[in-house]
Amino acid sequence: MAPSASSPRTAIPKQDRQASVRAYIDSTLTALVDQLSLSPAEAKPCIAIRCRATPANCTINRGSGALEAVQNVEMHRTYSWPGATAYESWKFTVIIRILAIIDQAVRTGQWVSKRDIYYIDPAYFRSQDTVDTVIDELAYTIGVDRGALNVEAAGKGLITGCFSLKRDSHVVVNAQFSSQDTLVPRIQEGDEFDISATRWVLVIEKEAVFHRLVQNNYHIKAVAGQGILITGKGYPDIRTREFIRQLVDATSNDRIPRRFYALVDGDPHGIGILSTYKYGSLAHLHDNASLNIPNLQWLGLKVSDAITTSAASGSDGLLTLTFRDRKKIVAMLRNNPVLANDGPEAEWRMELQRMLMLNIKAEIELMYDREGGLEMWIDRRMFRQE
Amino acid sequence: MSRQYLAWGSADNAHPVDIFSLAATEKQVISASGAPSLKVHSTVDADFPLVQSLDGAHALGCHHVVTDAGGTRAVSAGFAGDVKVWSCQDGYWSADAAASANLSELNVWAVALSENGQYLAGVSQDGHIGVWDLKADGAQIRDHETKGSFGTCVDLSADGQFIATGHENGAVYIFTTEHGRMPFSLSGLVKPVRAVAFSPGGKILAAAGDSKVIVLYDTSSGEQIANLSGHSAWVLSLSWSTTGEYLLSSSFDGKVKVWSIDTKTCVATHSETEKAVWSVKWLPKTARSEGFATGGANRSVAFYREATGG
């Protein structure tokens, strides 16, 4: 059995992190009870939340290769009961309710998803976003990652390939030869996973393309050897990114290096997704250093490949950029340090500029009609990137 | 009858990224690329040395640069939608801040300058065609609406009488600067048009794009005069020689062709690169020789001259 999962993302042992979560919940709830025991005139139950202001600027950390804030600006917000506004009262109760759910999860050692929490009382929470925000704020206030709260994001990523996961001596996930969809698993401390037979990991933007490759057994038949296929279904969720990063960390000292490739559409979203996997998300800068995939290689699709293929097969699979696409590209060139003129990915920047020049974009599905299909094209691309 | 053009020299790796546009004056070629600076190369000195770098001209890169005939004014358009005016004195270019400020909100994609440098024509993403008078503080003097298809290219005739635009839906329009739209539409192209160019005398308009054919139109009647076939990939750029005898074209597969207008045939093909050649330009004819410059995805500006003396 091969390398066990890498150490968790913070150096603090899990027991300590959970201890600080419990200490926080206890002291917060005790303080509230103290307040409530006072006379109504004197009582002022409140809860203080530490949160990050949206940073004005971000940069690429030279060490980790992750996008991070130039300067973290912290804000404190205090919500009290009964608040000055209806919003404040509502937010106060939302925080308390979620804190109670977390309290139970931590005490019983069970995991709860953000989605589960939202569906406990959708009318009250109003949106998934509310729940997500409060959880992130609480984790930041306590000074731990979300995992220490026993809260997980609902996974949406799928995996197939030469991968199996063992927990407490039982195989809990075996993604090999599986004809069913396997959700990207959450790897816990002490888990062992076996990817010794793999040579590569292909991260795919689209679910449909993923299914096509799975059906054709590309993870077994690839010229480059056996591998793992993963899709985050568009912009990836944290669990998918975390999982791929764990594969990177677990194999970084192996004698035979694993190659990590990305296959995305030739459009602004494709490049945005590629950037999210490799450098991190512009919206959640604080997580990036533990989720980025610095050795991810861009397989395609490039607009020039699409034009050549389209001309050869006679099919016209090229699409015109919309005004929104063009605006998005300009915003990406302007705001994402990864795509800056002196940034690390000159080819990505060029690709976006070529899209603007030609006013076209192309989807991966275009390569299905190619001679030898998408599979042979990936074979050649992987070979060329070696 | 084939003609020979010899490699004359090149500015290797003039830009770190794709070169999208070239403009030529009597003594210089200006190149624009996906990087922020514009580069000025001398065409009168051997080895085509870099004589000036206009650093930080367009933060997000530049897709079009054009000059007037006298080489006193240039206009460049960047990916951020920014348009800049440049003026030249004694071979040295500087930003014309006042003119640039007036044109900052133009919202155009392709641009063209009249021969005397007074009029700037531009076409936008939504197919609007505008003309601005640079002698009158950049006041807009014409605004033509088309069917809303992306305007990929524009040219002004040498006498400033006509504007031609090419669009993504295959449409080619000619307008007179005096009266507005011409009474006929130009047919023949159904795929995106990527280049339009008036002959020096203004009698012929050449247009080409994804249909790979170059179509020549009579500008007085709108009739097609000829179809020049030979490119096997999208045609990206067109340029007329000073005398109007030859037309230069480049395509997405790296081919550069010279066409005789007299015989309507291709007289020379260059294929030094397999990467897209985004821009080609004839150099003004001088005593030295007649030649042209090319620039594209191989990041170098290459110069060619006619083989003389048999």
The per-residue pLDDT for A52 is 73
Q: What is the pLDDT of residue A53?
A: 65
Give chain B positions within 8 Å (CB) of A351: none
**Helix count and strand count (H, E) for chain A:** 13, 17
Angle at A141 between CA A139 and CA A147, to 5 degrees: 15
Residues of B with Cβ-Cβ distance to A350 under 8 angstroms: 17-18, 34
Burial label, A359 (beta-carbon count in 10 A; 0-12, 13-18, 19+): buried
Tokens of A150: 């026993």
Percent of chain A with pLDDT over 90: 38
- Mapping DSSP to helix (H, G, I), strand (E, B) and coil, where does residue B58 land? coil
The pLDDT value recorded for residue B82 is: 92
| Residue of chain B whose alpha carbon sits nearest to that of A336 | B60
Distance CA A265, CA A364 (A): 5
CB atoms within 10 A of CB A380: 12
Q: What is the rounded CA–CA span in Å between residue A78 and residue A14?
A: 28
Q: Kindly provide the ipTM of the predicted complex, given to two decimals.
A: 0.95
Q: With an 8 Å Cβ cutoff, is B34 touching chain A? A: yes
- Distance in angstroms (rounded) separating the CA atoms of residues A13 and A140: 17
pLDDT digits (tens, 9 = 90+) for A53-110: 666 678 888 888 898 888 777 778 888 888 888 898 899 999 999 999 999 888 888 8
Asked if B60 reaches chain A (Cβ–Cβ under 8 Å), the answer is: yes
**pLDDT at A14 (0 to 100):** 64
The span from the CA of B201 to the CA of B240, in Å, is 10
Question: Which of B58, B79, B82 is the best substitution to test chain A (most A C-beta atoms within 10 A)?
Answer: B79
A53 touches chain B (CB under 8 A): no
Residues of chain B with pLDDT under 50: 310
Q: Which pLDDT score, from 0 to 100, does residue A7 have? A: 37
According to the model, what pLDDT value does residue A11 have? Answer: 44
CA B276 to chain centre: 16
Residues A68 and A91 sit within 8 Å (Cβ to Cβ): no
pLDDT at A314: 67
Is the Cβ–Cβ distance between B41 and B29 less than 8 Å? yes
CB A8 within 8 A of CB A189: yes
CB contact under 8 A, A330 and B80: yes
What pTM was estimated for this model as a whole?
0.87
Residues of A in contact with B233 (CB under 8 A): 307, 311
Whether B60 and A333 lie within 8 Å, measured CB to CB? yes
Tell me, what DSSP letter sits at residue A44? Answer: -
Q: What is the DSSP string of A261-316?
A: EEE--BSHHHHHHHHHHHH--SS-GGGGGGT--TTEEEEE--HHHHHHHHHHH---
Say how many CB pairs under 8 Å bridge A and B: 51
Per-residue model confidence (pLDDT) at position B23: 97
Dump the DSSP string for B66-92. Answer: EE-TTSSEEEEEETTS-EEEEEEETTE
Chain A residues with beta carbon closer than 8 angstroms to that of B81: 330
Active site residues of A: 119
What's the pLDDT score for residue A10? 37
Is the Cβ of A113 closer than 8 Å to some Cβ of chain B? no
- CA-based nearest residue to A326, from B60, B56, B31: B60
pLDDT, residue A12, reads 53
Bridge partners (DSSP) listed for residue A339: none
In the predicted model, residues of chain A with pLDDT beneath 50 are: 1-11
pLDDT, residue A374, reads: 94
Q: How far is A32 from chain B (nearest CA, A)?
A: 53
Decide if B132 contacts B120 (C-beta within 8 A).
Answer: yes
- Tell whether B18 is within 8 A of chain A (Cβ): yes
- Distance from the A354 Cα atom to the nearest Cα atom in chain B, whole angstroms: 9
CB contact under 8 A, B18 and A354: yes
